[in-house]
Amino acid sequence: MYKTKNDLPEAARTQVVELMNALLADAIDLQTQCKHAHWNVKGPSFIALHELFDKLNSDVEDYVDLVAERAVQLGGTADGTARMIVKRSRVPEYGYHGGNGHDHVAALSASLAAFGKSVRAAIDQCDELRDKDSADIATEISRGADKWLWFLEAHLQAQS
């Protein structure tokens, strides 16, 4: 840990940095999955899904920055290389590699739901560590993840 005048106790900062790096791995993994779906989607809903996946990716990219920068603000480092992400991500492996839009939506919604669950757990952990700022960042991300999950699931619900 780097020295900082941040008044959170070092033990709490160390634990929150660990939490932020876990979320960072999840967010970067999710971001790559969004781009995978964006690049590979085919079918009658191509343009709508292509644009939807790209907009989702843009928000997830913002989440990546928020989480990485919070880890560094607390005196830690942001562990964001590809190899670090592969070792650490808790997001399930992307479950589809063809072109069907429905199947991309299903795979991406499963990954987004898992990400949202991890973010909500981080909110509680940050609260326990008395880091309201990190809890607030996680809350912002959780709201966004839930919004995007709603957008994705609307495509699946229409076809049920």
Q: Is there a domain that residue 5 lies in?
A: no
- Number of domains the chain is built from: 1
Q: Is there a domain that residue 3 lies in?
A: no
Q: pLDDT-derived band of residue 97, with 50, 70 and 90 as boundaries?
A: confident
Q: Is there a domain that residue 136 lies in?
A: yes
CATH number at 31 reads 1.20.1260.10
Predicted pLDDT at 159: 57
Q: How far apart are CA 19 and CA 71, in angstroms?
A: 9
Pick the range with the lowest mean pLDDT from 54-68, 89-103, 105-119: 89-103
Q: For residue 158, give the amino acid letter.
A: A
In the predicted structure, residue 160 carries a pLDDT above the cut 80: no
Q: Is there a domain that residue 22 lies in?
A: yes
For 31, the domain range is 10-158
E strand map for 48-101: none
Q: Is there a domain that residue 125 lies in?
A: yes
Integer Rg of the chain from CA: 17
Q: For residue 131, give the amino acid letter.
A: D
Kindly state the average pLDDT of the residues 3-19: 94
Q: Whole-number mean pLDDT of the chain?
A: 95
Q: pLDDT-derived band of residue 95, with 50, 70 and 90 as boundaries?
A: confident
Q: What interhelical angle do 46-73 and 132-158 show, nearest 10?
A: 170
Write down the pTM of the prediction.
Answer: 0.94
Using CA atoms, how far residue 101 sits from 36, 43, 86, 120, in Å, is 12, 6, 26, 28
Give the contacts of 153 (CB within 8 A, at least 6 positions apart).
109
Q: pLDDT-derived band of residue 158, with 50, 70 and 90 as boundaries?
A: low
Predicted pLDDT at 73: 97
Kindly state the average pLDDT of the residues 33-53: 96
Q: How far apart are CA 24 and CA 118, in angstroms?
A: 11
